[in-house]
Amino acid sequence: MSGVCGQLVLRSGKGCAPWTYGQHLCILLTKPGSRLPGRALFLTVHIGDGLSIKPLRCKGLKRFERLPGGRQALPDASAGRTVWQLMRYYAEIFGQEHAAMNAKIAFVAGDGQDAQDARAGLVARYGHVPEDRADVIVALGGDGFMLHTLHATEHLSAPVYGMNRGTVGFLMNEYARDNLPERLARAEEAVINPLRMTAVSRDGAVREALAINEVSILRAGPQAARLRVSVDGKMRMEELVCDGALLCTPAGSTAYNYSAHGPILPIGAEVLALTAMAAFRPRRWRGALLPKSAEVEVEVLDPVKRPVMADADSRSVRDVVRVGIRSEPGVRHRILFDPGHGLEERLIREQFI
């Protein structure tokens, strides 16, 4: 095998893109310089319990297109690769796609009737396993339910693929009952690290929560809040008088942050946005961009007369006197999107609406 494979080095245009046939990956190879179809070599890669590459010379077959059920699966990547290298390259990709096509799916849904009906139909069609045994979790609902699902499954390794059965659906894909395994196999993954909020209340209680979108510090009474802001232990703003302030991730920059006139952050940006809501003093302060590694502390200057609450993705703590916020690299939320509709594209598109 090595003698044959080692002598065949493909050049762009001389090989054929791989095809799938059943549970096999087939590659049609032609020796460089050869124009005779009779010199074609068929190689089959079988994906079973593990990766198994078995080159086979298929005598009597001159054109792979004659095989029923064949389809082109991947682009040509033969340039500069030996046959063996090409086989391993395609086999690894095909193995990943084959595994995704046979993935165990857990379906979860919001309380709305549309979401519940969608779940019932998908479970009947594709089956269902518990979330802790799933290869992928499909969430049906809106952005709020997607955030709930990500928080509820943050201890699991399975990625979450959302389909919109709610309203806005910024974190969701378009809903469709057909071809779900194929969509999952080709989905693009975005990884998000949440923010960790540590809030200290007037009674001395300390509460922690994670936020995928933002941590907000909001006035809880009729008067504006008076806040002092420190970054990495250094006081940066002696007094900020406002309705509130928030620190958001790139994924959350199009939510509350954008409504408060904060910047939209590219999904790959290693920065966080600190944005004020209705700032009174300094009147023209529009916020700041901070490195992802920054630790922000917000101190409430007059907590009795001007009470303040803290909120992390709708999990609230009232009567806070101090709030610490930092990125949490130990938690990784894996979100799947249809090709060409990932978070990066959505963030860019949102700026031109």
User: What stretch of H or E contains 29?
Assistant: strand 24-29
Catalytic member of 143, 311, 313, 319? 143
Among 111, 178, 179, which residue's Cα sits nearest to residue 141? 111
196: tokens are 């960790």
- In sequence order, what are the residues at sequence separation of 6 or more whose Cβ sits closer than 8 angstroms to the Cβ of residue 30? 14, 15, 16, 37, 39, 40, 41
For residue 267, give Cα distances in angstroms to 162, 174, 193.
18, 20, 11
Task: Please identify which residue in the block is written with the tokens 């995928």.
Answer: 212
Kindly write down the DSSP assignment for every residue of 200-267, as one continuous string: EETTS-EEEEEESSEEEEEE-SSSPEEEEEEETTEEEEEEEEESEEEEE-TTTTTTHHHHTTPPP--T
For residue 254, give both structure tokens: 């199009």
Q: Measure the CA–CA gap between 191 and 343, rounded to whole angstroms.
A: 10
Three-state DSSP at 339 gives coil
Residues 6+ apart with CB under 8 A from 204: none
Compute CA distances 96 → 43, 50, 61, 91, whole Å: 19, 11, 28, 8
C-beta separation of 201 from 319 below 8 A: yes
CA-closest candidate to residue 50, choices 98, 17, 1, 104: 98
Does the annotation count 203 as an active-site position?
A: no
- Under 8 Å between Cβ of 247 and 296: yes
Taking Cα atoms as reference points, which of 159, 197, 199 lies closest to residue 320? Answer: 199
* Catalytic positions, written as ranges: 143
